[in-house]
Chains A and B, each alone.
Chain A
Amino acid sequence: MKTLARSHPLWLAHVLHRLSGLALALFLPVHFWVLGLALTDPAMLDGFLAFAAHPLVKLAEFGLVFLLAVHAFGGLRLLALEFLPWRAPHKTAAALALAGSFGVAMTFLLQVI
């Protein structure tokens, strides 16, 4: 049998949420371990931070920040869907308003720093 035809928008949103969550959960122990170096080996921590300035590593970090944002906003979508007994158009409007305000606030943040 042909694989189940399932690639509709909400299925893709689900896959994105799962893969971003899985990647974040696998990244967390590494993140914690590197920060823990401040306790045992501060020189090695600085070594890591210098390594993190490498352009390729920067790209990977961009990926991680992106995953966090994707998972957080995808999660907000799920929380709204489950906990707010609103009608679908209200939720769409609220999500657009939230994403828009976040975009404006982030642009402001990038301007002032």
Chain B
Amino acid sequence: MAAVLQVTVHRGTAGARRAERFEVPSEANQTVLDVVSWIQQNADPTLSYRFACRVGMCGSCAMMVNGVPRWTCRTHVQKVVDRGRNGGRDGGRIEIGPLANLPVIKDLAVDMAPFFDKWVAAGAHHHPTATRADAPSPVRPDSAAREVANAGIECINCAVCYAACDTVAHNPDYLGPAALQRAWTLLNDDRDGGHEAILDAVSGFGGCHNCHSIGSCTLRCPNELDPMTAIAGLKRASARRVWRRG
């Protein structure tokens, strides 16, 4: 008989959460998203969850898998399954829940609005300086600022870092790693005309200075970005500005 995965799924709406157990056939090549899809297609069609691309480009399928925020489409069950005491002969255990630190809509789908609102609050949107009539501004790819900006531009807004962040969990006003890393890339982008506005936005009571450099963001980022170092850059830039102004 084929091995069976024991899957716990945290379900329900914000006010009424419950854990449900499902038995899912174990496969040789199986992602956590495959497991969630199997449950929705074969066990309970009312299970709500998000996904789109299935190849780690869109950033919509992030969930908590055994307590760790991950892209479910790029997470192999065999790499994360809890084999327990009997060496996993029964297929092992896996616990799946909605992303932490965000309000739950239903089952595994969270409301991403607070996450994106904080991008705006961090000034992490482009502040244009030119019109389409102007010539494109030259950007030297090997300039120091551009290299710093390049380090953070591969973020796809999946909110894995936000769900991993202990500081967000205890301090709900904190803007969080993704928004602050975006603010840092814009601050190092010559074409952005809002550097002062960005520094104002990240210097308030919810800003970059609340970060404790715990580094869960950098540890968990599926794109191997380093928001912790980006936030340290914002701390330096904003502190230097206050120091200069007195």
| Interface of chain B: mostly helix, strand, loop or mixed | mixed
A4 near B166 with CB under 8 A, answer yes
A26 CB–B CB distance under 8 Å? no
A52 CB–B CB distance under 8 Å? no
B236 to chain A, nearest CB (A): 6
A78 near B213 with CB under 8 A, answer yes
B236 near A6 with CB under 8 A, answer no
Question: Which size class do B's interface residues fall under?
Answer: 20 to 34
A113 to chain B, nearest CB (A): 37
Interface residues in A, total, Cβ within 8 A: 15
CA distance in complex: A11, B212 (Å)? 9
Query: B164 contacts which chain A residues (CB < 8 A)?
Result: 4, 6
B213 near A2 with CB under 8 A, answer no
**Interface-forming stretch among A42-50, A81-89, A103-111?**
A81-89
Query: A1 contacts which chain B residues (CB < 8 A)?
Result: 10, 64, 67, 95, 97, 100
B100 near A4 with CB under 8 A, answer yes
B82 to chain A, nearest CB (A): 9
CA distance in complex: A11, B10 (Å)? 26
B236 near A83 with CB under 8 A, answer yes
Q: Which of A8, A14, A83 makes the CB contact (< 8 A) with B212?
A: A14
Query: B216 contacts which chain A residues (CB < 8 A)?
Result: 6, 8, 10-11
B233 near A85 with CB under 8 A, answer yes
Q: Which of A3, A10, A11, A83 makes the CB contact (< 8 A) with B67?
A: A3
CA distance in complex: A3, B215 (Å)? 18
A10 near B215 with CB under 8 A, answer yes
The CB with the most chain A CB atoms within 10 A, among B66, B100, B169, B216, is that of B216
On whether A4 and B213 interact (CB within 8 A), knowing A81-B232, A82-B235, A83-B236, the answer reads: no
CA distance in complex: A83, B243 (Å)? 13
The CB with the most chain B CB atoms within 10 A, among A3, A5, A8, A78, is that of A5
CA distance in complex: A81, B219 (Å)? 16
Query: A10 contacts which chain B residues (CB < 8 A)?
Result: 213-216, 219
Query: B236 contacts which chain A residues (CB < 8 A)?
Result: 82-83, 85
**A-B CB proximity, top 10 nearest:** A5-B67, A10-B215, A2-B67, A1-B97, A14-B214, A5-B68, A82-B232, A11-B214, A82-B235, A14-B212
